[in-house]
Structure 1
Amino acid sequence: MRMNVRRDHLLEDSVDAVMSLSRKDMRKLWRFEFIGEAGIDAGGLAREWFQLVTDEIFDPDMGFWQSSETNQMCMQINPASQMIHEDFKVYYRFLGRVMGKALFDRQLVAGHMVQFIYKHMLGWPIQFKDIRDSDEELYFNLKQLTELAANGEDLEMLCLDFTTTVEVMGAKQAIELVDGGADIEVTNDNFPEYLEACMKYRMIGRVKEQLNELLLGFFDVIPEPLLTIFDFQELELLMCGLPEIDMQDWQDHTEYSGDYENIGGEYPTCQWFWEVVGEFDQETKARLLQFVTGTSGVPSRGFGVLQGNDGNVRKFTIHGVSVGTCLYPRAHTCFNRIDLPMYETKEELKEKLKLAVTMCASGFDIE
């Protein structure tokens, strides 16, 4: 299949070309040509096309995607895209096809998405803690309500109903989480249903049309059963590539807190940590980054400008805790922080760290 596109009209030409293809054509070999430019595609033009076209469509200025509220390096679907672009569905279906084709052809795409979208692609269940990647404030509010309910507090006193307030193009709007939600009061008895309704709306409902098109496009190329061999972190690495990690830059721009605050990297456990990470292969290092920061992406200017959930620089942090506080390393992705127990041996640290990273990828919580 020959794909002829104009560089100065790259996205629109690419959408027209890709969306005109059948599902069978999506699995054929593509050869690219930039109109008006000399060059034979022996693989280099294809790599450039995948990079350029995904870089453009993930650009927040286009209105299809926006930076995650909790991780500025991860992109999430912009709910307002259906108001910005009349043909928004076509673009999400197109991107799904491009991502599927990239995976099929072992090419790379430019955008790191929030983790729960990779879970959707794999058909994995979405968990309550996944809300934190998308809306940290909602996550903590719901968590607080859960604790109140568990302690037997009367939720009716809070005067909540089955609605949520969203901001649409600068105006606040009340959305019913279920039919007639404005007339349903939240009680201790129906709180589980309220919690589920909030999660469904935040993770699926408000971007349902965009997400459906993205997944349909992806499955136009990659049959869903073939994805069962991957976990969501591995899928991100396959689609976005293994990052080039400068270990010295990583170590130089790491902060220490908790029980490590006073002597920092000189503490034996911290020294063992860097020795163990240095022994990791490239993929395991990337998975450790995913575990602590929520993505395998490294800022182009290095770890010195790693951002937190508030958009401000929040460096990679190793927080010292006692083994009695937590037996395994624990991550706080909003703060780019890892709680590292004060292990007595390097071997124990290595074992527990690898297990923590592995179990995170499998979707299980080891705590």
Structure 2
Amino acid sequence: MTGVNPKRKLEDYAADEDAVSSELYLVHSAVRMRKDQFVLTSFTDSAPRHHQNNSSDSASSSLQQLPSSSSSSSSSVFTQSTRFPGRLQFFVRLLSRGNTLVLQAESTDSVKSIHEKIQFITGMPITEQRLIYRGKQLQWEQTLAGCDIQNDAGLQLVGRMRSTGHPQAWQLINDLVSQIFDLCKSGNPRPSNRIKTRLIEFLTMTPRNATEKSAEHLQIFLSSCAPAALVMLYMSQAKVNKDTADESIRQFINSSKTVLPNPIYTQCAPIILEFCKLLRASAGVDDSLYGVCRSSLGGIVESVGVLSWESKKTDGKDVMELQDIFPFVRELAAKLSQALESSVGSDMVMGPSSSDVRDFTAFIGPIMNLIGDHVAICSPIAFPLQEEGTSEEESKRFEMLYYRQQIKCLHDIYFDLLEKLELCLKKMEESLALKEKGEGEPLVSGWSQYFAILKEINAISKLYKGSEDEFWNRMRHRKVSLCFLIMRFAKRSEDHRWILEHKEVTNFEVRRYLAMMMLPEVKDEYEELHEMLIDRAQLLSESFEYIAHADPESLRGGLFMEFKSEEATGPGVLREWFFLVCRAIFNPQNALFVACPNDRRRFFPNPASKVDPLHLEYFSFSGRVIALALMHKIQVGIVFDRVFFLQLSGKSISLDDIRDADPFLYSSCRQILEMDPEMVDQDTLGLTFVREVEELGSRKVVELCPNGKSTMVNSKNRKQYVELLIQHRFVTSIAEQVAHFAQGFADIITTVRLQKSFFQSLNLEDLDWMLHGSETAVSVEDWKAHTDYNGYKESDPQISWFWKIVGCMTAEQRKVLLFFWTSIKYLPVEGFGGLASRLYIYKTRESNDRLPSSHTCFFRLCFPPYPSMDAMQDRLHIITQEHVGCSFGTW
């Protein structure tokens, strides 16, 4: 891409940024103005002088904005000193505009000229102003030198006190700031809890009912320069003062979350932003207190978002703007970039910190939403950006142009992090390969944040034309490490659609893992399970009553199953119930589902299911049962046909998709499409846009389109005819059945959206493996490798005889034996290694004429020490008969 500089170090952006300014105010003494809302304090050399102006002829030229600094140096502006004899510098904070201004004057200037400059900028009448020095009011005709103002002297600007709605809050914060100054000037500082007490008192005084009143109340904290005073105390040389400030600021931020209602707490954002600016400039970005403030601000920004330029212009609300928070994105991106680079260069580095990644996510999310809204309307941003006004289309995107600098920076952040993270993933794969060879342990803890960063990088890529394709192309080459990260660090509470939309970069294990996290977790507590007592003779109807009429919430915790007149209970019995009830649901004799002619394992809804008046309710019931089977991780030996799977995924059906469901229709449609056009136009087929269907024993003709009986199929419309025929046969005719099945599934997974996402996240083969399990014959060697013994030893003759007998069984006999042993007839796709537990053979003290027994919940097979292989074979032959193998298990 032209103009892209992915190698540019993100640390450079932090140095470029001037929005996070060093607005640290040495407030030696100040009277907080109420209605006027500004503070003026005079200094000669107490703060850094980035701008100088020797002219005093014009107030507009003399008054300058306090310069910003994004330096992360640990040196404090409080300790800097530059001498300018004869010159005074006034720091003026105009809180109504959020700016800090600098007023410079010569020592020979009159006091009145200072008043005039203040009036010029603030609009405050001269008659309402008072300048106080050493407790005395300065007279207009005096000069600053005549007032004997020395270097480091502080002047107080006092205005006529106007009415305020929060007199107690003003008094409280005034006292707080004065107390902080006293601590700073004290030669023998001591621990004090009074500051923390006053801060809590201020928060508890905040009005709760009116947001305007609460905003005015919180604004007092800023208007009084309380954040600056607290940071000044934090930067004190005395450890006692530093600790007091540290505890006080942390308490204010933490308590504001708990003391204030959430809508009012979000109004604290300007205060926390002020703390961040001050601490960043004075203590540096690695300071722990700064980290606390930054994280708190990120939490607010993440919850309330960012106001766009147009919204700010329209309603004038004083809320967070992109310019307020983008400096934090630059700063955090630089830290992540440096950590990733270090991860590649050294085996000892543990990767990016979780707090940095969490804050990066919090700040960048609202920015993505803000810019993404315009991308959604105007299409992805082409890079490099055109200059403003070079095209009519670009000119229309005014707000995007307004954020041109941020858009360019975000583009560089994307490429820088992607490049470095790709190197980290490559190194991961090398470590994993060594692990497989037994040559070392991978540094998993150092990789824990890679997945979260990848998610944010992918989100950024969607903003820029071609960048998303670039991202996924790179991920395809890093499939091994990406799958490892997902399996190890993806969480149930997160949205994983961004990865599931690109199934080509995942494997079955990953897709199954992410899909299963959409389903509820089975509860361990017995009290939370939905209890069922089923009569085997009425299996389907009683199961329907227990499942179809239950509150979905009660089903999501899990099931407890028991058959009437049987002692066995527990997970083994539940596994058996799932197998039996699914076999009944999909039994073609019950008319709910139809098996595919080419693959009898595959089913789709029966268009003629309406022969049962309750058929739609039974489809809802079926959806619930299948969802519950997946939730309990039980393979039921049933798979869906492609046409059914695609409809559950919300996708359309093509001719190739019906190959298994209706081979005859597939072949006929294929012939129609491939016939010579002239033959079709000669009406050789004799077809019109109709379809004959059989319904409740009678046949009727259905028109596929308006006036279908009179519309002949020709070479031009034959493709449309085939599409309409497929649509009616596999969509329209079973639409109600599919919808009710999907709703039943959604009852368990909680929403229809998640139901579609579940099926969209999987390939049909994935669902086959999850529902049916392994399609290969049961391996005796794998079975033996996953079996332990209790009472027997592997060398005992009974164990040797047992495995020889199993080895000689038919495939179906092995399935029956496995079902008797575990209530599992279909193994997971991983084989015995995919079961929740190893299998066990227990030695019993019963007589040798007893049949084997099982505890299916614990995968235990129990039998006595039979005296011969023939005796054992006789007993095993009995239990491996299909009609005997069920219901022998005990709890």
Shorter-chain TM-score above 0.5: yes
Percent identity of equivalent pairs: 26
Q: Offset of 1:214 from its aligned partner?
A: 1.4
* TM-aligned CA distance change 1:8 to 1:215, over 3 Å: same
Residues 131, 202 of structure 1: 8 Å contact kept? no
Q: Residue 71 in 1 paired to residue 603 in 2?
A: no
Q: Offset of 1:300 from its aligned partner?
A: 4.8
Residues 578, 636 of structure 2: 8 Å contact kept? yes
Give, as a single letter, the amino acid of the residue that structure 2 aligns with 1:79.
P
Q: Offset of 1:101 from its aligned partner?
A: 1.0
* TM-aligned CA distance change 1:4 to 1:301, over 3 Å: closer
Match of 1:349 in 2: none
Q: Offset of 1:9 from its aligned partner?
A: 1.2
1:108-155 C-alpha deviation (Å, 9 max, x unpaired): 224333232122223343221112212212112111111126678526
* Partners of 1:237 and 1:150 in 2: CA distance: 43
* Partners of 1:155 and 1:144 in 2: CA distance: 16
* Partners of 2:758 and 2:696 in 1: CA distance: 39
Match of 2:708 in 1: 181
* TM-aligned CA distance change 1:182 to 1:117, over 3 Å: same
Give, as a single letter, the amino acid of the residue that structure 2 aligns with 1:239.
L
Match of 1:287 in 2: none
Alignment size in residue pairs: 250
* Partners of 1:230 and 1:2 in 2: CA distance: 31
* TM-aligned CA distance change 1:22 to 1:56, over 3 Å: same
Q: Residue 129 in 1 paired to residue 656 in 2?
A: yes
1:239-287 C-alpha deviation (Å, 9 max, x unpaired): 1111342699xxxxxxxxxxxxxxxxxxxxxxxxxxxxxxxxxxxxxxx
Q: Offset of 1:13 from its aligned partner?
A: 1.1
Match of 2:568 in 1: 39
* TM-aligned CA distance change 1:239 to 1:72, over 3 Å: closer
Give, as a single letter, the amino acid of the residue that structure 2 aligns with 1:213.
H
* Partners of 2:771 and 2:650 in 1: CA distance: 17
* Partners of 2:573 and 2:591 in 1: CA distance: 27
CA RMSD after TM alignment? 2.6
Match of 1:237 in 2: 769
Residues 149, 155 of structure 1: 8 Å contact kept? no
* Partners of 1:242 and 1:300 in 2: CA distance: 14
* TM-aligned CA distance change 1:301 to 1:70, over 3 Å: farther
Q: Which of 615, 633, 639 in structure 2 is aligned with 1:106? A: 633
* TM-aligned CA distance change 1:142 to 1:17, over 3 Å: same
* TM-aligned CA distance change 1:170 to 1:300, over 3 Å: farther
* Partners of 1:220 and 1:87 in 2: CA distance: 18
* TM-aligned CA distance change 1:81 to 1:194, over 3 Å: same
Give, as a single letter, the amino acid of the residue that structure 1 aligns with 2:599.
N
* Partners of 1:301 and 1:167 in 2: CA distance: 41
TM-score (normalised: structure 2):
0.27
Query: What SS does the aligned partner of 2:767 have?
Result: helix
Match of 1:334 in 2: none
* Partners of 1:11 and 1:37 in 2: CA distance: 18
Unmatched segments (≥5 aa) in structure 2: 1-529, 781-810, 815-891
Residues 3, 17 of structure 1: 8 Å contact kept? yes
Query: What SS does the aligned partner of 1:166 have?
Result: strand
Q: Offset of 1:233 from its aligned partner?
A: 1.0
* TM-aligned CA distance change 1:155 to 1:217, over 3 Å: farther
Residues 601, 639 of structure 2: 8 Å contact kept? yes
Q: Offset of 1:88 from its aligned partner?
A: 0.6
Q: Offset of 1:48 from its aligned partner?
A: 0.8
Match of 2:691 in 1: 164
The structure having more radius of gyration, on CA atoms, is 2
Match of 2:456 in 1: none
Residues 69, 136 of structure 1: 8 Å contact kept? yes
Match of 2:760 in 1: 228
Q: Offset of 1:45 from its aligned partner?
A: 1.3
Q: Which of 526, 536, 541 in structure 2 is aligned with 1:7? A: 536
* TM-aligned CA distance change 1:149 to 1:210, over 3 Å: farther
Match of 2:646 in 1: 119
Q: Offset of 1:92 from its aligned partner?
A: 1.0
* Partners of 1:170 and 1:301 in 2: CA distance: 41
Query: What SS does the aligned partner of 1:186 have?
Result: coil
Unmatched segments (≥5 aa) in structure 1: 249-298, 303-367
1:172-228 C-alpha deviation (Å, 9 max, x unpaired): 332222343223222333333212111101211222222221122122223222443
Give, as a single letter, the amino acid of the residue that structure 1 aligns with 2:763.
D
* TM-aligned CA distance change 1:99 to 1:178, over 3 Å: same
Q: Residue 198 in 1 paired to residue 725 in 2?
A: yes
Q: Offset of 1:35 from its aligned partner?
A: 2.6
Worse-matched range after superposition: 117-126 or 23-32: 117-126
Residues 654, 723 of structure 2: 8 Å contact kept? no
- In the TM superposition, 1:139-150 aligns within 5 A as 139-148=666-675
TM-score (normalised: structure 1):
0.62
Query: What SS does the aligned partner of 1:47 have?
Result: helix
* TM-aligned CA distance change 1:74 to 1:18, over 3 Å: same
Which structure has more RCO (C-alpha within 8 Å, separation ≥ 6)?
1
* Partners of 1:210 and 1:155 in 2: CA distance: 39
* TM-aligned CA distance change 1:134 to 1:40, over 3 Å: closer
* TM-aligned CA distance change 1:187 to 1:151, over 3 Å: closer
Q: Offset of 1:54 from its aligned partner?
A: 0.8
* Partners of 2:560 and 2:764 in 1: CA distance: 30
* Partners of 1:181 and 1:68 in 2: CA distance: 29
Match of 1:214 in 2: 741
Match of 2:190 in 1: none
Q: Offset of 1:169 from its aligned partner?
A: 5.0
* Partners of 1:139 and 1:15 in 2: CA distance: 35
Match of 2:665 in 1: 138
Q: Offset of 1:79 from its aligned partner?
A: 2.0
Give, as a single letter, the amino acid of the residue that structure 2 aligns with 1:195.
V
Q: Offset of 1:19 from its aligned partner?
A: 1.3
